[in-house]
Chain A
Amino acid sequence: QLQLQESGPGLVRPSETLSLTCTVSGDSISSSTYYWGWIRQPPGKGLEWVGSMFYTGTTHYNPSLMSRVTISVDTSKNQFSLRLSSVSAADTAVYYCARIDYGDSFDYWGQGTLVTVSS
């Protein structure tokens, strides 16, 4: 049974960098044919795709966030990570990690983690 679990600080100060990790169990990121990625959801609002990565290091980012986002992988730990720099209150959201089946999009999701940007 594939499972994804997000982890990281729940509070980040404005202008600093948000960092989250997704730990995958039940599938190997490095042997998988799937992409892996991040989606976010501000409180009471809709869903927004943040970015995707393949275990080889290929990445794709939402153009609206591209200048601030980095997704990376640690195949030895079967984890992938999100870094979002220069955060503001607008980046407050529940962040989900997910497996991505190309155009069929997100077939497995983590439970999500709330990140609040506040001083």
Chain B
Amino acid sequence: DVVMTQSPLSLPVTLGQPASISCRSSQSLEHSDGNTYLNWFQQRPGQSPRRLIYKVSNRDSGVPDRFSGSGSGTDFTLKISRVEAEDVGVYYCVQGTYWPLLTFGGGTKVEIK
């Protein structure tokens, strides 16, 4: 089974400063169709998760452009260029390459210093 590992577990950041979250998979997420199905989700306190990024780097509608995704193979990164107060929450990566199995990372908690 593919295992998704996120780091760090907790990320204290200063408002206006950048933040970076790592997600690593135990197996390559490059699909035979040429796509890489790595997704990122944000879960604000008390809310349902919301997808931010799909296929490594594609932002969902309404997602601010300060959020960006990158990576390939087994190593992926979610970056927030300038953290705002509304970005506080837990971020999860999810692999969909090994469909129909969908696997979450353990989550990274972003908080304001």
Residue pair B48, A47 in contact (C-beta under 8 Å) = no
Q: Which residues of A contact B37 (CB under 8 A)?
A: 102-105
How many A-B residue contacts, CB cutoff 8 Å? Answer: 67
Whether B54 is near chain A, meaning CB under 8 Å from some CB there, is yes
- The DSSP consensus for interface residues of chain B is loop
Residue count of chain B within 8 Å CB distance of chain A: 28
Residue count of chain A within 8 Å CB distance of chain B: 23
B8-39 contacts to A, CB under 8 A, are: 31, 35, 37, 39
Whether A110 is near chain B, meaning CB under 8 Å from some CB there, is yes
Known: A39-B49, A47-B43, A102-B99. 11 other contacts (CB 8 A): A47-B92, A49-B104, A63-B1, A96-B49, A102-B96, A103-B31, A103-B37, A104-B39, A104-B96, A105-B54, A107-B54
